[in-house]
Structure 1
C-alpha cells in the first residue's frame, strides 16, 4: 500500500504594494515636497490611511529633517507675515502659517520651529507653524529690555521632541553674554561671556536682522556696529568666541553673511564693494590648530542676474537659508533667490520692499485630508455610475477638499495650556545703611518714625525741551550733502552733474532715516517719563535696528534724559517732539519712509566708505550735547552754555556742530527750545567756527580711512 504525503505550502506573500510595513517604508522615502503625501493619499484607501497616520507624518518629517525644502520666508519686521517661494503644486498658501498676533519679530527658523521675539523684550515664543504648537518662554533676569540688541536661535537635538533656545545679548560691561534654555528641564543654563572686540567699545552688538547659522555643533551670529565680526557659540563646549573677518574686508564696507562653506565648516559670503561679484570664503584650520580665512569661488552676480552697473551697485543681502544654501539678494528690480552650488536663481514675485528675510525650511506634509478622496472613499449616489476608471487627479496642495468626501481624517494636534505667570515675591523694605540698628527698631516698634523720602525721590523735577524739527532736518541735510560730495570726489566722481543727481536722489532718503531713528529714540525716552506720552503712541513700521551714519548714530544714542549738575534742585532734562511733528515721525507730510529706497541709499553711502550703525533704543540716559544753544551776537556765532559748565564737554560741542546750520549754511539757530529749563548764561564753549566744520565734525567721529578726512579741510 502506498502512502501519500500531504504537502503543506505557506500562504503566498502579499504583493509589495499591499504589505503595509513595506509600503510605509516606500512612502517614507517620497520627496519631502508639500504635494508628495496629498498626491499619495489620492491613490487608494490603503495609501490614504497610511500617510494620514500622525505617527507616519512624524516619521516622514524626521526622515527628511536634514534636507527640508525651502517653503518660504518670514519678513523680519513684517510680524509673522509669511511669503511662500515654491511653485504649484508645492506652493504653501500664504495664510497657512499665521499666528494672528501683532508685533512679533522672527529671529530664526530651524528644525521646523520658529523663534519669535516680543518687541517689549520680556519673553520669546517658540512656534511650530505646521502643527500650531506654541511655547512661550520668559527671558532670564538681565536679558530683557535692560540690555542692548539681542538675538537667539532655536534647534532640536537629534530630531527629538525637546528643543533648545540659545540667547545672546550685548552686556553692559563690554561683554557678550549667552544662556541656553532647555524645554526638557524648563530652565536656563548658567551664563557664559566673552569680551567685545577692542575697537572703542561703541555699539558692537548681535544683529537681529541676520539669523544665526548652524555649522556642526556651533551657531554663528553677525556682529554689527563699530566692529563687524562673527560671534561663535560652541554648543558642545558651551563657550563663546569672536571671529574677526578677513583682513582685506575690514577696511571697506561690504555686504556679507555667515554661511556653511562648501564641504562643511564655517563660510562667508561677501559682496564686492559695488555688488558685481560674490566671494565665497572658507575658515580653514591647519595642522597646528591655527584657523584662517581662505578665498574660494567668486560668482559674477551682475552676469548671472543680468544686472546693469546701476542695479549691481545696490545689491543687499537680506537672508540666507542654511540647509538649501540659498541667499536672498535685493536689487532695484526685486528680490532674487540664488542657490550657491548650482547657481540657479529665481525672482520672488510681488516683493516691492527690501525687508530682511527669515527663511523657513521645514518638511510640510500638507493636509492630506484636503486632498481629493480616492475612488473607494466616495459615497455612491442612488443613480448608477459608469464603471469607468477615474482619471488621474493633479491638484495644488492648497486646493479645497472634495465636496463628496464622506470621511474626514483631520486630527488636531494637542496644545499645551498657556503658561501662567507667578506673582513676584514682595521685597523687604530697605532699612538705613548706617546708625544704631537696635535704636532704629525700637523707634519703629513704638511708631515714632515718620515717613522719610530720599532727596532724589522727593525732588525729581523733569523738564522737557522740544526739538526744532525744521532746524534739525535742515542741518542734517546740509551735513550729509557735504559729506557725500567729499566722499564722491575722493572715490573718483568727476562730473558735477552726476554728483548733483546722486545727491538729490540719496540725501533726502538718508535724512529721513536719521529723523525716523531720532523719533524712535525720543519716543523710547518719553514713553515712561512724559505725562503727554500718548503723543508717541503710534510706532512706525520700520526696523528697530535701523542703521544711520555712524556719527549721527552716536549723537542719537546720546539724545536722552540728562541729570543737570550744580543745580540747587535736582533737575532732569528730557528731549521731546511737538504733537504735530510726532504725528508724522519728523518726516514732511508729503513724504513717506520707504524701507526699500532707504536701503538703496544706505548701500550707496556704504560704497563710499561711510560707516553705519544702529542705536540702542532702550537706553534712556544721554549726554548734554543737545542742550547747547547756538547764538549769534554781533555777527559772531557761539555755542553758549545755558546750564553750568560742569554739564558740558568738548565732545558735546563736536556733536552739536553737525546740527546748527542756517539756510545760507552759516552757523546759527538754536536746535532745542529750552524755555522750561529756565536756562541762564554760563559762558560759551565754541566761538566763530570755520566754514565746513559740520562735515569735519562728521569725519572726526568716523573710524577707518574717513576719520582722517577732517584734517584735509
Structure 2
C-alpha cells in the first residue's frame, strides 16, 4: 500500500481556500471543520480582506424567497450550495442588500421583521401597527455613500412603506414614509392626489432602487416614484422650507406605450445606468430605458433597448413557445443583473450581459413573485464563525 501523501504546508492552505467561489459557501463550512488550523485561517480578518480583493464585483445570487400560494409562510429555494439559517414565519415582502423584510404572523411578533438569511439574525422593524394603506415595502442599506453592500447587512437600514388608497370615487391617494434604524425615527408621511383611478400598486412586486429613489410598479404598468433621499437629507418639515413639495417626493411615471400589452413588468436599473424597465409578453423579454434627456414623466420618455426571444435563451426543451405560454416575470436580482421567469415547468433565470445566459434554477412552478437573495454569504459566515457562535 502506498504511503499517504504528505500534508499540505500550512502557508498554502489560505491561498487554496481563497479560491472557493462566493456562490459555494458550503465548501467553506466544510473546510472550517477539517481542523483547528483551517478554522483559524478562515476566521482571520485578513482572510476576509483578501477574499474581497480576489472576488470583486456584484454579490452572487444564492437563492430566492417566495410565498407558496394561499400560505402565509416564507420558503427559500437555493440556487447555490447556500442554505438559510432559521427563518421567521411570515410573508416575504422584499430582499435587498443582504437583508429581507417579512410580515411575521407569529403571535409573539405580529409585525414587520428585518432578517439576515445568512446568519439568521433578525430584529423587529418599526410600524407594528402601520396604516393599512401601506401595501408595498422595501428594505435597503442606509450606510455611507459608495457602500459596496458586501457587509452592510450588519449596518443601518431603511424600511420604506408605500401604498395607494381610494378615499373617494374619482381619485386615488398615494402615501409613503420610511423608518431609519440609524436614527430610530420615521420620516414625514407624504401623500399626494393622483386624480385617476388606475394607479393601484402590484402587491409583493419588488421595487427598484435607482439613485435616491424607489420605483414601485402599478397595475397599469406605471411607476410610483418615492424619492426617499430628499427626506433623508431634509428630515422633519425642513423639506417644505427648502422649496420641496410632496409631489417632488412622490410622483407617477407613465409606462412605455402599450400599457397592459407590455405584459408582466419589473422596474430595474437600466444597463448603463438610470431607470429601466423589463417587460415580458408572449415569450418576448423587452428591456426599456428612461431617456435621461427627457424632462417629463410621460410615456414618451422610454426607449426600447433590447428585445429578447426567451425561447432561444432558456432551456425549456422542445416547443418553447408552448412551454413559455403563461410565463411570469416574477423578480430580478438587481445587483447581479439576473431576471427571474416563472413557468409551469419551474423557475428560470436570464443573466443579462453578452452573451445572455439562461438556466433553470428551481422546480417550483407558477410563482408570481420571488425575492432573490444576493449576498457575499462567506463574509457573514466568517464573522459568525470568528465570534464563536
The answer to whether TM tops 0.5 is yes
Give yes or no for the alignment of 1:83 onto 2:88: no
Give yes or no for the alignment of 1:322 onto 2:334: yes
- The whole-number CA distance in structure 1 between the counterparts of 2:291 and 2:95 is 27
- The whole-number CA distance in structure 1 between the counterparts of 2:54 and 2:166 is 44
CA contact (8 A) 1:260 1:266 kept: yes
2:320 equivalent among 308, 316, 332: 308
Deviation for aligned residue 1:317? 1.2
- The whole-number CA distance in structure 2 between the counterparts of 1:113 and 1:63 is 24
Give yes or no for the alignment of 1:108 onto 2:108: no
The answer for the alignment partner of 1:234 in structure 2 is 227
1:351 equivalent among 319, 342, 364: 364
Deviation for aligned residue 1:262? 1.0
Give yes or no for the alignment of 1:279 onto 2:286: yes
CA contact (8 A) 1:162 1:184 kept: yes
- Count matched residues: 337
- The whole-number CA distance in structure 2 between the counterparts of 1:53 and 1:190 is 44
Q: Deviations over 1:549-571 (max 9, x none)?
A: xxxxxxxxxxxxxxxxxxxxxxx
The answer for the alignment partner of 1:524 in structure 2 is none
Question: Does the C-alpha gap of structure 1 residues 148 and 262 become closer, same or farther in structure 2, counting only changes over 3 Å?
Answer: closer
The answer for the alignment partner of 1:456 in structure 2 is none
- The whole-number CA distance in structure 1 between the counterparts of 2:57 and 2:383 is 26
Q: Structure 2: 5+ residue runs without aligned partners?
A: 1-9, 232-248
Write the mapping of 1:287-302 to structure 2, written as runs, cut at 5 A. Answer: 289-290=295-296, 292-302=301-311
Select the structure of larger CA radius of gyration: 1
The answer for the alignment partner of 2:82 in structure 1 is 92
Give yes or no for the alignment of 1:264 onto 2:273: yes
CA contact (8 A) 1:82 1:98 kept: no
Give yes or no for the alignment of 1:32 onto 2:15: no
- The whole-number CA distance in structure 1 between the counterparts of 2:302 and 2:128 is 36
Look up the SS of the partner of 2:158 in the other structure: strand
Greater relative contact order structure (CA < 8 Å, 6+ sep): 2
Deviation for aligned residue 1:409? 6.7
Q: Deviations over 1:309-352 (max 9, x none)?
A: 33333121121111121111122332211112232111124324
Question: Does the C-alpha gap of structure 1 residues 42 and 139 become closer, same or farther in structure 2, counting only changes over 3 Å?
Answer: closer
- The whole-number CA distance in structure 2 between the counterparts of 1:344 and 1:144 is 42
Question: Does the C-alpha gap of structure 1 residues 210 and 48 become closer, same or farther in structure 2, counting only changes over 3 Å?
Answer: same
Deviation for aligned residue 1:253? 5.7
- The whole-number CA distance in structure 1 between the counterparts of 2:86 and 2:26 is 20
Higher strand share: 2
Look up the SS of the partner of 2:306 in the other structure: strand
Write the mapping of 1:176-215 to structure 2, written as runs, cut at 5 A. Answer: 176-196=174-194, 198-199=195-196, 201=197, 204-215=199-210
Look up the SS of the partner of 1:194 in the other structure: strand
Write the mapping of 1:562-711 to structure 2, written as runs, cut at 5 A. Answer: none
Instruction: Report the TM-score, using the length of structure 1 for normalisation.
Output: 0.42
Deviation for aligned residue 1:243? 0.9
CA contact (8 A) 1:155 1:165 kept: no
Higher helix share: 1
Q: Structure 1: 5+ residue runs without aligned partners?
A: 1-16, 371-407, 413-713
